[in-house]
Structure 1
C-alpha cells in the first residue's frame, strides 16, 4: 500500500529542491501517493493567508509532509509558516543532523552531530507586544512539560540511533527560572538513561567548543532559540545549509524540510543545492518505516558528493539542481 504524503513545494527555490527530492524518493521504488499543496506569500491574495485551511487538513489527514522552504518577511508581514505549522500540529521536536561528507571542502572531516531542538516554546512562542511607543517586550515561555518531552526525545533518539552522549545547551547561569527549569529537567531525565553520557553547557561556551572541538559532541538538546542558532552553526561546520536536513516530529504528525531559506535571489536558475531536501526525504522514509530506502538515499548522496564529479556551485562544482538529483538517482 502506498504511503500518503502531503507535498508542499514552498516558494523561491523551494519548488526546485522539492522536485529533485521527489524524483529521488520515487527512484527508490517506495510507493508514495503525493498530495501536493501550495503555501506561502502567493496564497495571501487568493485565501487571505499564506497557510490555507486545506493545506492543514491535508497534513492532518496524511500525518506526514515533505515541505520546501517558504519565505518569511523580516520585521513585517505574516509570521513564519514554519512556526504556524509547528504550533498547529504540536511538532515539538526539531531534529537537525549535521554531518561531514567526503568531497565537501570544510575545516573539519569528522563531524556527526544531531541537534534536537524544542520546537514550540521559548521566545518563538510569539508572546510579544509593544510597551508604549518606545519599547517592546517578548516573553520567554518554558514549561516543565515542554522540557520533559524534548529531553526524553533526545535520550530516546540517542538510544535508538546508537548514540553515546547527550549535551543540554542552556543559559541557566543568567536565566535561572526558564533555562534553570530546562537544565533541572534534563538532569532528571538523564538519570533514567545511565547508558548515555550526559553533560551540559552554557550556550555561548557551547558555540566556542563546537568550533574548536566538534568531535567531542554527539546529540545536543536545546531550547527553541538556542537550537535554531546552534544548528545553523553546525551547518556551517559541515559545509553549509544546503547539506543539512531536518525533521519536525510530534505525537500525531511529522513534517520534513531542509533548514535553509527559500533563496529567492536564485529562484528559477536551477543551481540551488537539493542535498538538504533529498536528505530530509530520506529522514521521512525512515519515519515511514522504509529504512532500507532511507539508507540507500543517504549512501547515494554520500557517493555522489565523494566522487566530486557532479556538485552544485556551493560545493565547488557546476552541476544544476537537476543534474545532482540525476547523479543520486543513478547511484540508486
Structure 2
C-alpha cells in the first residue's frame, strides 16, 4: 500500500508533497539465507547460513514433523554451528532466524533438510526416500557406521553372517543394490528380481521385524524363489557371494550401501539395513526343540556344546528383530547360560495366546 501525504502552504504555491512506503517489520533485520548442512556423521552435523547478525535462534525437527516456530536453541555468535548427539539414520529439518539488535526477530529462513548416516546398532526404523532413475546418475549412497564387532579380522576371527534389508518399492525389479566394505571391496546384493513384484521385506508389518536376510547359511534360498511373492521375508542368497569381504580387513569403520532405481514412475524407501557379524569358528546351536507348551511356559532343549561356551537364548513375539552377541534386539528378551547347561530349560512368564520366535546362538 502506498501512502501519500501532501499540503499547500500558500495560495498558488506548489504542493509540498511527502510520501512514504510502509516498511516490512523485518526490513532492518534480514533473515538468514543459504542454509547448509555438511560434515555429517551418524551423530553430528555442521550447520551454516549467511552471517547477518550476532545472535540467532534455530529450530530443529525430525522427519516430517511440522515446525512450531519455537526455537530449540539460541546461538550467541556467528555460524557455523556444530550439532552433536543426533540420532543415526534420521531425517532432520532446520530453520534459522536472527535476533535483531532491538530485540525483535527476523523472518524464519527457508528450511533445509539433511539426514544422518546409519549406524549398525540402529538398523531401523529408517525412512529414506529413494530417487527415481538414479542408476543413470550413479545411484544413492548410504554410509553405515560399524562400531561393535566380535573381532578385528574378517574371515579370521569374525565373519559377516548376513545382511538384513527392507525396501519399500511398488516394482522391486527396478532395484539394484551393492555393498562396499571399509577397504573398498564391493559386491552386488540385489539385481534381476522378477518384474511386477513389490517390496523387499514387509513394510506393512513390524518395521524392525519383517526383513530379508541375505546370507549364505544352509537353507538360504536363491532370490528367484521369491518371484510372484510380494513382501517376501526370510533367508535368501545374495546375488554375489559375501566371500570377498573375508579378506582379513577390519570390519569396524564405514561401510557403504549403494541403491539405484533403473526406471521411472515407481519410487521406493529404504526402511531397514543392518549387518550381522558373528565370531568365526563358533558353530551354531543345533537340535533346538520346544516341548510341553503351556499357557505361559514352554520347555527348550538343544544339543550341548563345548564346556565354557555361552548359549544365548533370545525370545520374543513372532517377527521380532533379534539382537547380536549377548544383546537382545527390539522386542526380544535374553537368557545367558554357561555350557554345559541343565536341560530342558523352562521359559516362564510368557503371554497367553501369543506366537513366539526363539533364537539360540553360541558365544565361544
Give the TM interval when normalised to the shorter protein: under 0.3
User: TM-score scaled by structure 2?
Assistant: 0.26
Instruction: Say which structure, 1 or 2, has more relative contact order (CA 8 Å, 6+ apart).
Output: 1
Provide TM-score, normalisation by structure 1.
0.28
Q: By percentage of residues, which structure has more strand?
A: 2
Considering fraction of residues, name the structure with more helix: 1
